[in-house]
Structure formats: C-alpha cells, structure tokens
Structure 1
Amino acid sequence: MKANGFTSVAAGLLFAILWSSASAATKIGLASAQPFVIAVPRFFIAALVMLLIAHAILKKPVPSIAELRKLAVYGLLNVTIYLGLYVIAMQHVSAGLGSLFVGTNPVMISIITAVWLKQPVTFKTIGSLFLCSAGIVIAAYPLLQESYATPAGLLILLISMISYSAGALYFSRSTWNHLHILTINGWQTLLGGIFLLPFLFTSYDQSENVFDLRWLGSVLWLAVPVSIFAVQLWLYLLRANPVKASFWLFLCPISGFCIAAVLMGEPVTTYTIIGVVFVIAGLYMVQRQSKA
C-alpha cells in the first residue's frame, strides 16, 4: 500500500473511532452533570483552542461582519440546535443508538437536498431511508424494553440530526471567501456555544452537578479529540476524496456500539447486529447513488 493510501486509511479509522466515541463520552459526563454544563464548556474550550491557533499562531484574518452572520447561522444549526439537542437526547438514549443515528446523516442530507432544491426524490433515496429507519427501529426495540432508550429521546435525537444535515447543506452552499477551516470551525463553535448560554443559566441546578474527574474527562474529550481532531481528520478525508470519505461514516455505528459495550456495559444483541447491517446497507445505497 502506498504511503498516502496508508495515511488515508489510518485517518479514516481514527476518525470513525473518535467521532463515534462522542456518545459514550457524553453519557459518562451526564452521570455527573446536566447536559448544558457539559456542552457549553466543551464548545468554549474547543473554540478557544481553534481560534488561538487560527489567529495568534497562523495569523489568519478575523471574519468580516457579513461572514460572522453566516457563521452565526451555521453555528446555530450545527452547534446550538444539533449538539444542544443531542446532549439532551443522550439522557434518554443509549450511547450505541446515538452513534447509529450519527451514521445516518448522509441519508438525511440527501433527502433535505431533494426537498430544499425541489428535486425529485429517487427510488434509491426512499429505499435507503426505509433501510436506515428499519435498522434504527430494530436496534432500538430491545433497548426500549430494557429502558436504554425512550420514544421522546429518539425523537429529540432525530430532530438534532435533521439540524446537523441542514447545517451541512448550508455550509456547502455558502461562500466563505477563503476563510481558513480553523477560523470557520472556531467561530461557529464559539457562536453556537454563546447561543446556548441562556439555556444553561435558566436550567442550571447546583444539586445536579458534581464537577469531578468524570465531568472533566468528558468535557475535555469532547472538546479536543472529538470537536477538534475528529473534525480535522474528516476535512482531510474530504479533501483527499469526498466519495471515499463518506464511507468512513459506515464504521461509526459499529465502533460506537463496541465502545458503548466496553465502557458503558450496553448490550449488543442480535437486534443490534441486524439493525446496524440495515443502516449500513441504507448508507451504502445512498453513497452508490452519489457515486453514480
């Protein structure tokens, strides 16, 4: 294997592991603190690191007012709504299911693109949606029985994924005037975190928060390996080959369930395996359509 091929494979594997680890890390943090007490510090730490590198070290220009407006919209969709709802949903949904939902984003993006651009929805898109939905239902069934998930949690998770997909489309269809990717990520993360502050202040309850090593480890893991390194690996893969990059999302449900089983003791049953297979088949159908 060529060196660049080996690098891409290594980057893809590490991305899938880091990206899918967010669900378990969130669940661990929720054992010590409220959702926004985990999310807001995560965003501010990640944003501070990225903006420090972008502006102080790399000397990249600060976005203009017009660019900040677009970054605010992107941050609202990609951080405030998506990750804000995601951390709430993880109170009611298993870490494995959280990873499974994350892996379905390519399907949602395809559907939102068709609706947004008023394009006809293809048979493959409908078939992919059916397979992914069936997979989630199958994987969730025993977890609902054992109180590892609730219908409300699944609904909140679904809404968060729709916001993420809408944010991805907004980002891809916007002009960023050669802004450095660390500048974009840093500012959208900062602004998205700022928008969450009112919810943090109004919902904060001191009796529900213990600022122990479990909380600190969760926040730091979500801020650095997930919000910074995983995103940079994803961008590296996208620049190398966008079509092949999307296939690494297939590993997220698998690695997510494995991490949840090891760290959280969540069950991996025949339902889990069948559900993951259905979701991967649905994702593969969408990617085959994109490739064609």
Structure 2
Amino acid sequence: MFRNKYKWIFSGLVFAILWSSASTATKVALTVAQPLVIAVTRFGVAALTMLVIAHVLLKKPLPKGKEWKQLLIYGLLNITIYLGLYVFAMQQVTASIGALTVAISPVFISFISVFFLKKPLSARIIFAITICLIGIIVVAWPLLGGSSVTVPGLVLLIASMLSYSIGTIYFSSKNWEGMHLFVINGWQTFFGGLLMLPVALLTYHASMNQLTFAFWGGTIWLALPVSIGAVALWLALVKQDVVKAGMWLFISPIFGIIIATVWVHDTVSIYTVAGLILVLTGLALSYTRLNVRAPLK
C-alpha cells in the first residue's frame, strides 16, 4: 500500500491525529447530550456502515456457529463496558487526560496479559505502567477538586482501559477463521451497542439532549473517522511494518493534547508537559515488550 516513505509518514500522521481526537470529540458531544445517547448513536452509525461495506459491497459471508458468541463477548468487553465507562469518565476528566490514558493502552494490555495469558511479569512492565500512571496523575493533579477532573472520573477511565485490555487479549486468543476486519468490527460494535441500548433507554431524559451540530459533529466523527478510518489506517501501517507502526502510538498523546487545547481549550501547564514526558517515557520503556495489535475502537 505504501510505495514510498512519504505515504507512510502521511498515513501515520493521519492515524495518530484521528486516534487521538476521540477524547475531544467526546467532550464536544457531551456538552449537549447524555453519555449513552452519544455512545448508542455512534455505535449504530459505525456498525451499520461497516456491515454494509462488509456484506453488501465486499460480499463477505456472515459469521457462523461459535463466531457469533465470540463476537458477542468481544462486543461486551470492547464496546459495552470499555466505551460505556469511557464516555461516562469523559464527563469528569479533561480531553487531554482522556487522550493520554488511551495512548497508554498497549502498556495496560501488556500488564493484563500477565494474568490472562500467563506471561512473565517483568520489572520493565511494572516500571512502565507505574510511570505512565504517575504521568496521568501529574497532569490531573492541579485540576483535582474542581469540576474538570474528579477522582471517580479517573477511576472510571482506568477501569475502562482495563476492560479494553481484557477485550484485546480475548480478541487475540480466539481463532477468527480469516474473518474480514469489517465483519468482526461491525458485528462486535453492533452487539456492544445493542447491549448498551436498554440502559440508555431507561436513563434517557429528552431535556438533556439537544441534537445540535455539536452532537452530530462529535458523534459522527467518533463513528466514522475514529472507529473506521483510524482502524483501517492502523491495519495498513501494521501490515507494512508492525514495529515501525507502533511508533505512531507514541506520538498520539501529543496530538491529543494539541487538539484538546485548540478545540476545547484545555489548559497546558508545566504539569501537562511533565505528565506527557512521563507517559512517553513509560511507553518507550515498554515498547520492546509490546505485542502491537490493531486498536479496534
């Protein structure tokens, strides 16, 4: 796919920008709508788009047998729990903190694999995840106690990343029989959103939702450029060179903070810079130990 280094760099930059923009887009939509209204709409649009591409345009076969169960479990972990908790957490943390936390997901995955895949727990991984978490706390520290960052919000954010990590490990441990990415991602997104729908309906309050440009702009951005575009670019990068592709994950928190600063006016302070440096250091320390996989988001 990449005939020269310029296409590689361009694709990597676009991926990093799209991937890191999710927290800001979520914050924008949250100004006018309830978390689960945003989530269910996002997943509905993303799932419909991917399933039409997979089964109508590409003529890919439907899942069969045990694959339906695998997709349901994966959707529960990777959509219902992970992104359900994430969108609630984003009500109580800044977009910058959200972007930093998502960026360290490979470190979480490496740590969780110790318990689920019985991999050895190295001192490097313990040190890396400790530094990354300290980095997030440093960024959040001056804002704690106010309305922009709360302890429950940080707890929800970390819990969401744990679910994402478990979901990624589950995905990696299953045989998908060569199933196309859009089939996997489309159906797991559909099931994840479907499982979330009853709670969304029970907690829905019409007065708390205004279907303005902020709602549709933020939600459609999450559904298409992030859930579909970023994943497609990531897979193309990984296919070309899995090690070099991982480097684009390192710069995503930088773009995340820049986007949050420009679009939703997050404050950049010495704490932000120090926390970012710590997170990047933690990622660099863990890099040689990470098994980079596609971020299905």
TM bucket (normalised to shorter chain) is over 0.9
2:19 alignment counterpart: 19
What CA distance in whole angstroms lies between the structure 2 residues aligned with 1:114 and 1:7? Answer: 36
Contact 1:243–1:287 (8 Å) recurs in 2: no
What CA distance in whole angstroms lies between the structure 1 residues aligned with 2:17 and 2:4? Answer: 20
Residue correspondence of structure 1 range 129-144 to structure 2 within 5 A = 129-144=129-144
Provide the aligned C-alpha RMSD in A.
1.3
Point out the structure with the larger helix share. 1
| Per-residue deviation, 1:10 | 1.4
Does 1:269 find its partner at 2:284? no
Contact 2:107–2:290 (8 Å) recurs in 1: no
What CA distance in whole angstroms lies between the structure 2 residues aligned with 1:187 and 1:180? Answer: 11
| Per-residue deviation, 1:4 | 3.4
Residue correspondence of structure 1 range 136-285 to structure 2 within 5 A = 136-285=136-285
CA distances 1:89-129 after superposition (whole Å, capped 9, x unpaired): 00001000000000111111111111212233111111101
| Per-residue deviation, 1:8 | 2.1
| Per-residue deviation, 1:171 | 0.9
Q: Secondary structure at the match of 2:148?
A: coil
Q: Secondary structure at the match of 1:85?
A: helix
Q: Secondary structure at the match of 1:59?
A: coil
Amino acid at match of 1:92: Q
The 4+ residue runs of structure 1 with deviation greater than 3 A are none
Amino acid at match of 1:104: I
1:56 alignment counterpart: 56
In the superposition, relative to structure 1, how do residues 25 and 290 fare at CA in structure 2: closer, same or farther (>3 Å)? closer
CA distances 1:166-200 after superposition (whole Å, capped 9, x unpaired): 11111111100111111111111111110100110
Amino acid at match of 1:96: S
| Per-residue deviation, 1:243 | 2.0
Structure 2, unmatched stretches of 5+, are 292-297
What CA distance in whole angstroms lies between the structure 2 residues aligned with 1:141 and 1:63? Answer: 47
Q: Secondary structure at the match of 1:3?
A: coil
What CA distance in whole angstroms lies between the structure 2 residues aligned with 1:290 and 1:141? Answer: 29
Structure 1, unmatched stretches of 5+, are none
Q: Secondary structure at the match of 2:144?
A: helix
The worse-fitting range, judged by mean Cα deviation, of 134-143 and 269-278 is 134-143
TM-score by length of 1: 0.96
Residue correspondence of structure 1 range 38-117 to structure 2 within 5 A = 38-117=38-117
CA distances 1:21-63 after superposition (whole Å, capped 9, x unpaired): 1111111101110001111011011111111011111100000
Aligned residues: 290
